[in-house]
Amino acid sequence: MDDEAELRTRDWLPRTAALVLGTLALASAFIAAYVGALHKPDPKDVPVAVVTTDQQAQAVMSAVRARTDIVKPVGYDSRERADDGLNDRSVYAVLGSAPGGGLTLATASAGAPAATELVTEVFTEAARQAGVPLAVTDEVPVSGGDPRGLVPFYLAVGVVLGGYLASTALGISLGTSPGSLRRAGLRIATLAVHSVLLGVIGAVLVGPVLDVFPHDVGTIAVVGALAAFAAGMVASAVQAWLGLLGTGIVILLLVVLGNPGSGGIYAPEFLPPFLRGMHRWNVPGLATDLLKSAIYFDWRGGGWALTGLLVWVVAGLAGLLTATMFRARRRAARTGSGRHAAAER
């Protein structure tokens, strides 16, 4: 009995130690990522549009750029194109000359309130120093129920977390890798139904229940379901190939790095360099961008985010199905080898 207990301890101890060390590593990474990214925002190269033929606006823009790298000028050949850039979220504001004299600054606070506030402060001071009046307008304001512009981010975090947790729950109860393509299909269908339900619940919560976006329930439900399904399929694929280690990798990708790198709390230009481009490929960032585009910008500028989420869905499906087939073949090969050995005996 003592020998059996010792054997069980030897088997249990390394696995437990690995789990504890893994959770310590993830928690440490979580602290480092969130504190490192968000404790002291350092805005740099916040894009602001200016028409190249607008001499007065160009002069003020050049003076600002000479003093600081907070703002980055983005030239357009017409005011119409500059306005398009504002509406597709390529820039946070448009600086121009007013017909009756002075300057205008058109912003879109729904894109990122902190960024538009910063830009407004910078150009208000620049206009004061230049001795010209500045008229500021908010062309795409945030909702009254979303004054800080953070609800799309929190909603994205919720549906992405829900998708990942659903996949993890199925992995714990049924095994991380389905035993056959049929079981893989059932898992995919389960995650799809869960994603649709979660998308609808999220839309109802931020719509009729909390009265944040009461007129966008259908839109939010569709985007939320897609984001949840993308997260669930990514998690399922990684877990199917790597088992418990895959769960840790998914947490690292979707939570530890994905949330601070999504550009939801602070605009990407406020984040450390290694996180600034993450929102363009990570699921939480894509979900946040698509929700903002759908809710505030009539889907303009949402093409990349929509494509990115669909790519993650396809990659997750392919990863889960190939892992299922690979493991099924390995099991069949082991079974065949066992039968052959038994026949020889």
Task: Return d(Cα 22, Cα 182) in angstroms, integer.
Answer: 33
Burial class (CB in 10 A: 0-12, 13-18, 19+), 209: exposed
Task: Name the pLDDT band for 115 (thresholds 50, 70, 90).
Answer: very high
Query: For residue 20, what pLDDT is reported?
Result: 85
Query: For residue 27, what pLDDT is reported?
Result: 87
Q: Pick the more confident residue, 298 or 333.
A: 298
Query: For residue 153, what pLDDT is reported?
Result: 95
Judged against a pLDDT cut of 60, whether residue 36 lies above it is answered with yes
Task: Return d(Cα 107, Cα 241) in angstroms, integer.
Answer: 46
Average of pLDDT values for 242-269? 90
Average of pLDDT values for 4-27? 72
Query: For residue 328, what pLDDT is reported?
Result: 81
Query: For residue 30, what pLDDT is reported?
Result: 80
Average of pLDDT values for 21-31? 86
Closest by Cα among 25, 19, 34, 27 to 257: 34
Judged against a pLDDT cut of 60, whether residue 3 lies above it is answered with no
Q: Residue 28 is inside which H or E element, if any? A: helix 2-38
Task: Name the pLDDT band for 337 (thresholds 50, 70, 90).
Answer: low
Query: For residue 18, what pLDDT is reported?
Result: 76
Query: For residue 39, what pLDDT is reported?
Result: 83
Query: For residue 340, what pLDDT is reported?
Result: 53
Judged against a pLDDT cut of 90, whether residue 64 lies above it is answered with yes
